[in-house]
A and B are shown apart, each in its own frame.
Chain A
Amino acid sequence: MRKFREFIIEKLILICGIASILFVALIFLFLLREGLAVFKIVGPFKFLFGKSWYPISEPPQLGILPLILGSLLVTLGAAIISIPIGVGCAIYIAEVAPVKIKEVLKAGIELLAAIPSVVLGFIGMVTLVPLVKNLFHLPTGLTALSGSIMLAFMAIPTIVSIAEDALYSVPKNYKEGAFALGATHWQTIWRVMLPAASSGIVAAVMLGIGRVIGETMAVMMITGNAAVIPHSILAPVRTLTATIAAEMGEAVVGSEHYFALFAIGIVLFIISFMVNVTADIFLHKRQG
């Protein structure tokens, strides 16, 4: 009887494991089926590198270069802001902070991760957008920079918690060895701990970036959504995610526009897949 129970539980878990992979595969197949149809209307090159996005005109112009660049620019900006802050915060929590402060900081970071992105977007819209506008004397504060700052807030919790974990799992004797050789605390962190935890930190950064690329609501609310090729981080941009979210409701099922939105989905899927794979490679390198 006990063996039988073991058997059932084992199989159930197996089914759960297979199911999640199956779902991913099905989603990807569905994306491909709906998205690839767009290439009958525009060539892949024209789709990826076309400069105008006018999906509801006759005939539609379906070029997503401005959208790809918009997404990349916002993500790059968010990375530049969030990586130093996130990694610095992780070092402080893992190495420097006394236990009490450490607890408070960790709880705070978790709280930051719990704020829904639409709320962050709303806060950004009423506080950050006017600030950016006045600070840089811009015609409008709905810019890539506003989006980057808001997204950095969303990436920081991911980066901090995983990077802190990586630092924490560096073997104790590395640190003791460094101290024994007469290194100061900072020298130990900089020369020993960081290099030893580097693959975990890179993975943390990549996962943070993955979160940023896929973020939709906040970006849609504060980046202005103008489909132009951005020339500066102080200009409005339109991201891949915001385009799908804003236009899916209108797209008539089976129209060019509908297929194009799914094709954007494929592009987005591929980008986040690459980011996640990179993160995974680094995570495994640490364990290996």
Chain B
Amino acid sequence: MLKKMWLILITLAFSTSAFAASGKNSIQIKGSDTMVNLGQAWAEKYMEKNPGDFVAITGGGSGTGFSSLISNTCDIAMTSRNIKEKEIALANQKGINPNEIKVALDGLAVVVNSANSVGKLTIDQLAGIFTGRISNWKEVGGKDEKIVILSREVNSGTHVYFKEHVLRKLDPNSKEEFAPSALMLSSSQAIADEVAGNSAAIGYYGMGYISPKQKPVAVAKDEKSEYVTPTIENVINGTYPISRPLFLYTNGVPAGLVKKFVDFILSKEGQDIVLATDFVPINK
């Protein structure tokens, strides 16, 4: 009997301390897979500087971030797209007031296997490839091989951004969709791996995921424009055509610990981490 009492006491003690940890001095951040590594780097540096504070980062996709913010299961949503009208309406319904903070820029790289002879494409050609109108590499100057399209799942902000900016070219009336035959992979890393091993594959992801195992394609707005490679300089000077802002969303104007963390991110130190993780800082 005594033993049991002890057990109960110990469990109680543990559960209350766990409860305290999830209370005041911790922040939950959820959202974009593109930003997971960046968020992790921020969190590590921040926790190193502020021992006792705790920042937890989870991926899942920008949509996941928004739905957690709306259902109040995270303090900050990190996202690679703007919030949708529908999501704002739903948030307001639940008494949540999404507040947007721009924290970095990201160039979206289009990558092919390093054995692929195609090294540059126009936005039109990209749209053609990803919608399935162009299905063979020889149509864009490569060898006679069927194109394997790789895309992120629909919960990815990268997927949405690519569809709106490349496939639909920002035309709200456009009905363009990814080809149904596009392979939907669940992470940027999965796309990177498949591109590295498949000579016919083409995929897209945030610049941070480029490694020597893939070949980034130079992209031009149209045939007359210059072909630009996805590098940090080209995103900063605005010549690379597929780049996007990255955001944090908080419930209302940040206060307390959330404000402290956001201030850290926007500080010189936070922006240096942006650069170190292959993204592009906002304040130069």
- Interface of A toward B, CB cutoff 8 Å: 52-57, 66, 130, 133, 139-140, 142, 220-221, 224-228, 236, 238, 246-247, 249-255
Contact = CB atoms under 8 A, between A and B. Distances in A.
A250 B63 contact: yes
A52 B183 CA distance: 15
A251 B67 contact: yes
B154 A142 contact: no
B60 interface: yes
Contacts of A52: 177, 180
B63 A253 contact: no
B184 A226 contact: yes
A288 B58 CA distance: 53
B186 A139 contact: no
20 contacts: A56-B154, A57-B177, A139-B146, A140-B194, A140-B198, A140-B200, A142-B183, A226-B180, A226-B182, A228-B181, A236-B181, A246-B184, A249-B61, A250-B63, A250-B64, A250-B154, A250-B155, A251-B63, A252-B66, A253-B67
B245 interface: no
Main secondary structure on A side of the interface with B: loop
Contact of A55 (B71, B154, B186): B154
Interface in B172-201: 175, 177, 180-186, 190, 194, 197-198, 200-201
Given A140-B201, A142-B194, A246-B153, A236 B183 contact: yes
B8 to A, nearest CB: 21
Nearest to B94: A253
Contacts of B155: 246-247, 249-250
A253 B182 contact: no
Given A221-B186, A228-B180, A252-B87, 14 more contacts: A139-B148, A139-B198, A139-B200, A142-B183, A226-B181, A226-B182, A236-B181, A246-B153, A251-B63, A251-B67, A252-B63, A252-B67, A253-B67, A253-B70
B64 A226 contact: no
Nearest to B71: A253
Contacts of A142: 183, 194
Main secondary structure on B side of the interface with A: mixed
Interface of B: 60-61, 63-64, 66-67, 70-71, 86-87, 90, 145-148, 153-155, 160, 175, 177, 180-186, 190, 194, 197-198, 200-201
Given A221-B186, A250-B61, A250-B155, A140 B180 contact: no
A255 B84 CA distance: 13
A66 B180 contact: yes
Contacts of B90: 252-254
Nearest to B60: A249
Nearest to A126: B193
B153 A226 contact: no
B151 to A, nearest CB: 9
Nearest to A246: B153
Contacts of A254: 90
Contacts of B64: 249-250
A227 B180 contact: yes
Contacts of B194: 140, 142
A236 B180 CA distance: 10
A250 B63 CA distance: 4
Contacts of A130: 197
A250 B67 contact: yes
Contacts of A57: 175, 177
B62 to A, nearest CB: 8
Nearest to B178: A54
Contact of B183 (A140, A247, A253): A140
Contacts of A255: 86
Contacts of B160: 56
A251 B90 CA distance: 12
A225 B184 contact: yes
Contacts of B63: 249-252
A246 B186 contact: yes
Nearest to B30: A249
Nearest to B156: A250
A224 B201 contact: no
Contacts of B182: 226
For B147, B175, B182, which residue has the most chain A Cβ atoms within 10 angstroms? Answer: B182
A283 to B, nearest CB: 37
A226 B71 contact: no
A200 B200 CA distance: 47
A133 B153 CA distance: 22
A224 B148 CA distance: 11
